[in-house]
Amino acid sequence: FDTGLLSGKTVFITAGPTREALDPVRYISNHSSGKMGYALAQAAVDAGARVKLISGPVNLPAPPRMERVQVQSAQDMLAAAMDGIDSCDIFIAAAAVADYRPTAVSEHKLKKGAEEIMELRLVKNPDIVASVAALPRKPFTVGFAAETRDLLSYARSKLERKNLDLIVANDVSQPGIGFNSDENAVTLVSRDAALVLPQTSKRQLASQLIRQIAELYNRAP
């Protein structure tokens, strides 16, 4: 496809899960594979962009021709996202960031006690994509919404609440697509339109998404 679509543009992409430490050997995380974010990063490079891929821990090799910054926690991911953000034209948040982290990280391994119930205290993590979209000189900002019901209405309210330019909405109740799968199907939701991209490989979908994002970005004032 048209390799000049994003030439001269800088794209930041978050991908994969975050890990929120409890102690030196334990953490809270999720099953995100990072495949969608990595496929988007590859498609953006193929479209001529300079790409910074900000990745949580995943089992994927560093793709060629891009900068990969590896992080663990949501707080690390936010710092990596803000580093050099002034040069970023398009920010795509594909990471499955942990909503909460333990209030404190124990310096030593937590010990098993006599009690049957153990309670964990958690504190809300920063919202990375909303923090980027709140910047005075914000890049064109794209978020994802994984929902099991009312896909479009939740996506629209997320678009407003986080001040995003585009939401990639994903129905995760459908088997065989989304989380940890090789295929996906999404609906693109902007302020004034919705566009369905039917089920295909994450690689194919990533090229289609990058093309749509580039078109909207180039049309934006």
Residues carrying an active site annotation: 30
Q: Is 175 annotated as a binding residue?
A: no
Task: Tell me: does residue 205 bind ligand C5P (CB under 6 A).
Answer: no
Task: Tell me: does residue 93 bind ligand C5P (CB under 6 A).
Answer: yes
Q: Is 129 annotated as a binding residue?
A: yes
> Which parts of 116-187 fold into alpha helices (H)?
128-133, 151-161
With contact defined as beta carbons under 8 Å apart, do 129 and 91 qualify? yes
Q: Contact region for ligand C5P (CB under 6 A) — 25-33, 138-146, 172-180, 209-217?
A: 138-146
Task: Tell me: does residue 41 bind ligand C5P (CB under 6 A).
Answer: no
In the window 113-132, what residues touch ligand C5P (CB under 6 A)?
A: 125, 127-129
Among 95, 169, 177, 186, binds ligand C5P (CB under 6 A): 95
Q: Contact region for ligand C5P (CB under 6 A) — 3-11, 45-53, 92-100, 189-197?
A: 92-100
d(CA 177, CA 171): 8
Q: Least distance to ligand C5P from the beta carbon of 68, Å?
A: 17
d(CA 128, CA 148): 22
Q: Which is nearer to ligand C5P, 143 or 178 (CB)?
A: 143
Who contacts 115 (Cβ-Cβ below 8 Å, separation ≥6)?
none
Q: Please report, for residues 47, 103, 156, 171, 212, the alpha-carbon distance to residue 189 in angstroms, rounded to integers and kept in the order given.
A: 22, 35, 7, 13, 11
Q: Which residues of 95-128 are buried (b: 16+ CB within 10 A; e: fewer)?
A: bbbbeebbeeeeeeeeeeeeeeeeeeeeeebebb
Q: Which is nearer to ligand C5P, 9 or 158 (CB)?
A: 158
Instruction: Give me the residues that bind ligand C5P (CB under 6 A), please.
Output: 14, 74, 93, 95, 97, 125, 127-129, 143-145, 158
